Amino acid sequence: MGAPASTRCCIETLTAHTTLQSGMSDTPVDTDEVEHIAQLARIDLDEDERELFAEQFGDILSSFEALDDVPEVEREPELTNVMRPDEIAESFDREDALANAPETEDDQFKGPNVS
């Protein structure tokens, strides 16, 4: 792909800068692992996608390894819950709330059969 020389120069600078090395893959990811994640995420993938993602995830996850250099930082103080009593307010009627559902039955969302 025809990246202009100027852009290439910059990305290399950025790369060195963030301790990334393009093409480096300390975290190899294979297609079985991609398939496992895809199942957790409920997204089917075809064979080409599995192979492409395995290659790209190796590079991307390697770049995330740089986070290991982050020092411990004192985080903000503990958050506290703010409570209030429930109040009944105006809301959608069923028809509006279901208007975008792909399928409905008896004023309810209709999902696939439980097999």
Partner 1 sequence: MSYNGYITETRIDGSDDGPLAGRSIAVKDNISTEGVPTTCGSAMLESYVPPFDATVVERLKQAGATIPGKTNMDEFGMGTTTETSAFGATENPVAQGHVPGGSSGGSAAVVAAGDADMALGTDTGGSVRCPAAFCGVVGLKPTYGLVSRYGLVAYANSLEQIGPIAPSVEEAAELLDVIAGPDERDATTRDATEHGETAYAAAADGDVDGMDIGIPTELVEGADKAVREQFWRAIDELEAEGASYHEVSLPSVEHAVEAYYVIAMSEASSNLARFDGVRYGVSGGYDGNWNETFATAREEGFGPEVKRRVLLGTYALSAGYHDKYYKKAQDARAWVKQDFDEALEEADVLASPTMPVPPFERGESLDDPLKMYLADANTTPVNLANLPAISVPAGETDDGLPVGMQFVGPAFGETDIIRAGSAL
Interface ranges with partner 1 (CB under 8 A): 1-4, 6-7, 9-11, 13-15, 17-20, 22, 34, 37-46, 49, 53, 56-57, 59-61, 63-64, 66-76, 92, 96-97, 99-103, 109-115
- Residue 19 or 30 with smaller CB distance to partner 1: 19
Task: Work out how close the CB of 94 gets to partner 1 at its nearest, in angstroms, rounded to a whole number.
Answer: 11
User: How far is residue 111 from each of residues 32, 44, 105, measured CA to CA in Å?
Assistant: 29, 18, 10
Note whether 23 and 58 are within 8 A (CB).
Answer: no
- Residue 80 or 115 with smaller CB distance to partner 1: 115
Cα–Cα dist 93/84, whole Å? 25
Cα–Cα dist 96/44, whole Å? 31
Task: Work out how close the CB of 4 gets to partner 1 at its nearest, in angstroms, rounded to a whole number.
Answer: 7
Task: Work out how close the CB of 98 gets to partner 1 at its nearest, in angstroms, rounded to a whole number.
Answer: 10
Which structure tokens are listed for 42? 């409920």
Task: Work out how close the CB of 93 gets to partner 1 at its nearest, in angstroms, rounded to a whole number.
Answer: 9
Note whether 19 and 66 are within 8 A (CB).
Answer: yes
